[in-house]
Amino acid sequence: MNSARPFAYSGKDSILCCDGVQLDRLAKKFGTPLYVYSAEQIAGRLKLFQESFAEIPHLICYAVKANSALAILKLLDAQGAGFDIVSGGELERVLAVNRAAAARVVFSGVGKTAAEMDAALRAGILLFNVESEGELELLAERASKQRKRARVSLRVNPDVFAETHPYISTGLREHKFGIDIRRARRVYREAAKAKYLDARGVSVHIGSQIRSAEPFGAAAERVAGLIRDLRRDGHTIEFLDAGGGLGIEYHLSLSGDDASGAHSFDPKEKVTQYAAAVKKAVEGVSDVTLLLEPGRFLVAQAGALVTRVLYVKKNGEKVFVIADAAMNDLIRPALYQAHHEIVPVTRTKSKKRVVADFVGPVCESGDFFARDREMPALKSGDLAVILDAGAYGMPLSSNYNSRPRPAEVLIERGRARLIRRRETMQDLLAPETL
């Protein structure tokens, strides 16, 4: 499965389907707003990554925060993926899927607590990606308390610029992430003194939604250079963790609908270019296992948010399409000014198009999915689909405005399976007292 998306129109009524399953049926059965994901697309993306690095020792550690649904973690685990986690909660999710997967877990994040370290040590994770000297000190203390050796990789900040949204750029010295690469050798020397720390790797992650391969190559090259230095210093470095961050194309119309043809996206070509840049950078380091932490690339295009139009209203010249999904369900447009393609579930013969704001019911002006967007005319009761919502959608959702979170459905071999039921008001009220 190498197409950009699993969503396509089919049948004489031209109904939008996910891997052949009609989305109007799913909306009827499970209600809206509804997240729908393709298992085949996610597994296919993982396979693309695995094949692109097949000739060198590697482990693809899926970044759990992109979409932490248990069913998605389970399908990736079954295909041999490892996991990149950023909290004790994400560790719990991985362990709930498969306790043995702990051996394939790398733990990133700038603010690990003692309790999170203890849990990860108990579970026996592969590697702690340590992001500060303070964290290294605390980890040494926790590991010695448990008399368990902690395998450590320092996340270095390579000071590489990558073109992306400032909120998801992480590889510059001014960002909170990692340890300045110029200080790294000194920190490894400190780490080597701790009895229960094993410095085994170097890691890097320069940001998210990065579309060119070049900055990944530049960052990996700096890390490779550091590994050579560290080995000369006497450290046993086995792992080079090149992080995640490979982007997708959000400005991609559904095939057949594309009038301009301005944007294209070939996932296989993207991974191949990315892999070539990373592999070239690590050519000069022998006996190293490459770790990669893709998140968005594996799941973004596999998922969509199905929503029903509540009202269409006009304020002066402006048209507002008010849907039952809102920023609490998918915050990317509000948070990052992110673009999502929006398409109707039923493709009509009518060529009528309007320029409209596609918004949710939440009481915030930031609650929009598209502004001044030309789109097919929709009316109250119509279903629409917000595409490419598989990554950083549901995991960033909230109950703002006391809105229960959407249900999630996974399409597997042409069948839809509810993998998370819609929240109820009881779920929301449960932790509170009067």
- The SS3 of residue 345 is coil
What is the H or E stretch that residue 336 is in? helix 332-336
Among 88, 245, 267, 303, the residue binding ligand PLP under the rule CB under 6 A is: 245
Q: Which of 244, 376, 390, 406 binds ligand PLP (CB under 6 A)?
A: 244
Contact string 82-121 vs ligand PLP (x = CB under 6 A): --x-x---------------------x-------------
* Nearest-approach distance from CB 223 to ligand PLP, in angstroms: 13
The least distance separating ligand PLP from the CB of residue 246, rounded to whole angstroms, comes to: 6
Q: Which of 264, 257, 248, 275 is nearest to 60 (CA)?
A: 275
d(CA 49, CA 267): 10
User: What is the C-alpha separation between 176 and 215, in angstroms, rounded?
Assistant: 19
Longest CA–CA separation in the chain, Å: 72
Note whether 66 binds ligand PLP by CB under 6 A: yes
Angle between helix axes 39-52 and 70-78 (nearest 10 degrees) is 40
Cβ distance to ligand PLP smaller for residue 180 or 233: 180
Tell me how far apart the alpha carbons of residues 211 and 300 are, in angstroms, rounded to a whole number. Answer: 14
Report the binding-site residues. 245, 293-296, 332, 336, 364, 392
* Site for ligand PLP, residues 171 to 230, rule: CB under 6 A: 205, 208-209
The values of phi and psi at residue 62, to 5°, are -60, 130
Q: Is 363 a catalytic residue?
A: yes
Which residue positions form the known binding site for pyridoxal 5'-phosphate? 245, 293-296, 392
Asked whether 108 and 87 are in contact (CB, 8 A), the reply is no
Q: How far is the CB of 52 from ligand PLP (least distance, A)?
A: 15
Residues in the chain, overall count: 434
Report the residue number, 139 or 323, with the smaller CB distance to ligand PLP.
139
Alpha carbons 385 and 379: distance in angstroms, whole number = 14
Query: Which position has the token pair 């043809």?
Result: 261
Nearer to ligand PLP, 395 or 404 (CB): 395
Nearer to ligand PLP, 361 or 395 (CB): 395
Q: Which residue is nearest to ligand PLP (CB)?
A: 295
Q: How many residues bind ligand PLP (CB under 6 A)?
A: 18
Sign of the C-alpha dihedral, residues 42, 385, 25, 325? positive
CB of 144 to ligand PLP, least distance (A): 26
| Identified binder of ligand PLP from the candidate list 26, 63, 117, 242, rule CB under 6 A | 63
Q: Under a CB-based contact definition with an 8 Å cutoff, are residues 203 and 289 in contact? A: no
Between 9 and 37, CB nearer to ligand PLP = 37
Distances (CA, A) of 146 to 180, 241, 325, 391: 29, 26, 47, 36
Tell me how far CA of residue 28 lies from CA of 31, 32, 77, 383, in angstroms: 6, 8, 31, 10
Residues at the binding site for substrate are: 296, 332, 336, 364, 392
Instruction: Between 298 and 362, name the residue whose CB sits nearer to ligand PLP.
Output: 298
Q: Which of residues 246-285 bind ligand PLP (CB under 6 A)?
A: 246
Site for ligand PLP in 297-316 (CB under 6 A): 297
Interaction site with ligand PLP (CB under 6 A): 63, 65-66, 84, 86, 108, 205, 208-209, 243-246, 293-297
Catalytic residues: 363
